[in-house]
Structure 1
């Protein structure tokens, strides 16, 4: 995707209208055509404009519009999100000018107040600059105590170092996770997480703000996803979030982090199968999304509705789940942006026996498996392929389903043999047995094969998405409907005798 299209995609509907007004106020000639290009992008008619004005003129026009859009987004973002930083910077500039003009008493008062504000808003870089300036003028009468300044400066350095270390740890672990999830490399992520935190001296005692807490929550979710051990996750950071909520830093500038933290916590509880608690955190997420005149980006709405749909579906409210999905699909959103919600829809359609509808949903997945691996990960791609195979078994397209299954087992053999991923392979082998002779699925022999093939876990330890696949298998074995079977499995304490 081009830079212009990326910029275009992050504009809300309100910002789109504002951008048109912004262009019109700056256009000094009537033949500029930037508004015409922008409206063509809105209506997906760029090709028509390109053929009308020619490729060269069109490319020049796109480049000019890109720079206009960069200016607009920068100004708009500064007005919405950077107001606190702007105000702090203005005061700092004013204080420096007062010092140069030897108005030291007023300058020191401003700087000492500003130092506290910078620390409160987690602007440790500015806090350090203020302290260095105060130290520079510490010899002047009326200046703050030098020893106290030195102590605060040392603490500020430690804070900056701690947050730099957290950033380094976050980057290293995210890169390792991507190597595992997107390239299929073998990395002991749990060991890497522990050694990285030890290397960078990161502990629970770090002075968490919204930004650093967001990174920690993301890393915790990564560990749960990689190890399939969400049941082991300690959500100690919820108390740290509560300490921040309602404070001075709980502002528009940190709104994105606040919303994302609540979303990840809700997601972790969903993966723990604590759907009630997950829904409570989603309610908090929605409250934050509605703050500041609902200026939260559309991506938050997408995440909120998808997780709300999953929670609703797993507590027996399939109608509400579908209403969340339908709401998203009714919006003017590109196919690529709705890929994950469409896969969720396909899963729900299989559970409800809506096989033709599910086939139509999956037919809109136009990319190759390699593309999905690169952009959404191997695990997600395996889920998609498995849903597709189960659908075609239900449709009795056995040859096609068997061909897809053989391809899956061959291509992802190494990945499926990894520790933590080995539960998927026995399930797929059982599916292969059904494909070879569909009539055996209800037999005692097949039941025995199921019991001997799968290492059953306690319900709280089992992955929620794997339970969805087990529900399909059990429904096949018992000649029952999938969705009631799923709800029945979720009520069990152990997944034995599937």
Structure 2
């Protein structure tokens, strides 16, 4: 899908009508074709150019029209967002804009009141950049205020600059760590997380005390969770999790501006507990998330699907399969245009796993909805997720007798990922694929004692104690045991 189509996809039915009115008001001539182009794109008319311009030489005119329509749509969305967003940050920004207008029209007293209200909101939300702009505007007109005001304002301005500088350093460090993580995830670069973080702090001259904020800890914990997921070992990030937990316990008061980071941290902590098989602790964190999401409804739509995913997984792996399945299906029923495609695909692949572990062939339906290319999934959800998705597709197709399709998928998997897996030292994934390949070639091999012993030996590999890896191994064991993969998974997780 092209950018213009993606932008149009953000509009609901009411927005579409409003946007057409916006275009009509903007159009100065009657022969402008932007509304016609909008309607053609909405109907997926592949012959849009021919419908609008009969002559081939008008190809440039068509592309210019698309460019103008995209610019108009961006302008409409920016105005709509500014007018409709009810967040406090936007309230402060509106007050700043109004104050500038009032100053220009010599309404100084009222302008200062607006700036005072804007500053209070920005301080509460710790929006240092916005506060910087507010102070700059006040300094511009400080000659119209009391003599003492300049000294007080200078002190606040310099203090805020120090906060901005600290935030800037943390953002630089976070960007650097994200780039390094990308090298690990996509290119198999080997790093020591603790050493990398400490080296990054030195590089950007960041004191450990500066990390003791909700935002900084959220950023570090994000990196730590991604790192642990890549290496399938959540013990590697235990020290960061403990430090985060201690910080949160020490906070007597949380500002409204911290809510996003607080929710994100709770989510990471819940995920950490899930992956370490502490399902009750995971559920406790997720219940806390539920309470926090009610504080600001906008965050419920942002976090709801991923919170439901973790809760369903904790129920599933703790033996409450029916509740877990019901939760996933209800979560998918709430999906809308505004839902993140990554969150939706996470739920779908989870549903595939739940159903397949019960030998329920209806799992093929949600599997068929995972239609993006491997390259798309690698970019959006990472190499690890994409590899798991491919492995699941192979074993599920094999499980329900689609051997030729499973073999084809397995061949493609090896062609695309073998070199990468060898580069990052993940031979154990290739060992698993080798067992699946043997089974596909000769299903009777599952009854061979030597084959069984080799499969069971995989359970002694530390990285394979992860709940998702155990689920794959359980599928192999189910080939010779008269139990469902789910029953074996519960046995393995319980003994992990």
**If the TM-score is normalised by the length of the shorter chain, which range does it land in?**
0.7 to 0.9
Do residues 165 (structure 1) and 169 (structure 2) align? yes
Q: CA deviation at 1:383?
A: 0.8
Partner of 1:390: 395
Say whether the 8 Å CA contact 2:129–2:164 is kept in structure 1. Answer: yes
Q: Alignment partner for residue 249 of structure 1, among 220, 240, 257? A: 257
RMSD of aligned residue pairs (Cα, Å): 4.4
Q: Alignment partner for residue 425 of structure 1, among 430, 434, 457? A: 430
1:290–1:109 Cα change, 3 Å: closer
Do residues 237 (structure 1) and 240 (structure 2) align? no
Q: CA deviation at 1:353?
A: 0.5
Q: CA deviation at 1:401?
A: 3.8
Do residues 85 (structure 1) and 82 (structure 2) align? no
Say whether the 8 Å CA contact 2:99–2:112 is kept in structure 1. Answer: no
Partner of 1:345: 351
Q: CA deviation at 1:306?
A: 3.2
CA distance in 2, matches of 1:417, 1:470: 20
Do residues 196 (structure 1) and 200 (structure 2) align? yes
Size of the aligned set, in residue pairs, is: 477
Do residues 467 (structure 1) and 496 (structure 2) align? no
CA distance in 1, matches of 2:334, 2:349: 16
Partner of 2:381: 376
Instruction: Give 1:60-99 correspondences, 5 Å limit.
Output: 62-79=66-83, 80=85, 81=87, 82-87=89-94, 89=96, 93=100
CA distance in 2, matches of 1:263, 1:399: 40
Q: CA deviation at 1:298?
A: 5.4
Say whether the 8 Å CA contact 2:142–2:149 is kept in structure 1. Answer: no
Say whether the 8 Å CA contact 1:24–1:35 is kept in structure 2. Answer: no
Q: 5+ unaligned residues in a row in structure 2: which ranges?
A: none
Partner of 2:316: 313
Q: CA deviation at 1:346?
A: 2.2
Partner of 1:449: 454
Q: CA deviation at 1:224?
A: 1.9
CA distance in 1, matches of 2:436, 2:280: 32
Q: CA deviation at 1:161?
A: 2.0
> Which range moved further: 464-473 or 33-42?
33-42
Please state whether the residue corresponding to 2:479 is helix, strand or coil: helix
Please state whether the residue corresponding to 2:319 is helix, strand or coil: coil
CA distance in 2, matches of 1:122, 1:201: 22
Partner of 1:354: 360
Do residues 27 (structure 1) and 32 (structure 2) align? no
Q: CA deviation at 1:482?
A: 0.9
Q: CA deviation at 1:8?
A: 3.1
Q: 5+ unaligned residues in a row in structure 1: which ranges?
A: none
Partner of 2:7: 7
1:27–1:298 Cα change, 3 Å: farther
Q: Alignment partner for residue 143 of structure 1, among 148, 173, 178? A: 148
Say whether the 8 Å CA contact 1:267–1:278 is kept in structure 2. Answer: yes
Say whether the 8 Å CA contact 1:213–1:237 is kept in structure 2. Answer: yes
CA distance in 1, matches of 2:21, 2:133: 41
1:289–1:418 Cα change, 3 Å: same
Q: CA deviation at 1:280?
A: 3.7
Instruction: Give 1:100-119 correspondences, 5 Å limit.
Output: 118-119=122-123
Instruction: Give 1:240-279 correspondences, 5 Å limit.
Output: 240=247, 243=251, 247-249=255-257, 259-279=263-283
Task: Output the TM-score relative to the length of structure 1.
Answer: 0.76
Say whether the 8 Å CA contact 1:362–1:388 is kept in structure 2. Answer: yes
Say whether the 8 Å CA contact 2:356–2:396 is kept in structure 1. Answer: yes
Q: CA deviation at 1:262?
A: 4.2
Report Cα offsets for 1:450-476 as digits up to 9, x if no partner.
354553449xx9322112112212322
Report Cα offsets for 1:91-134 as digits up to 9, x if no partner.
86489779x99x89x99999788666543321223444666766
1:289–1:164 Cα change, 3 Å: same
Say whether the 8 Å CA contact 1:88–1:118 is kept in structure 2. Answer: no
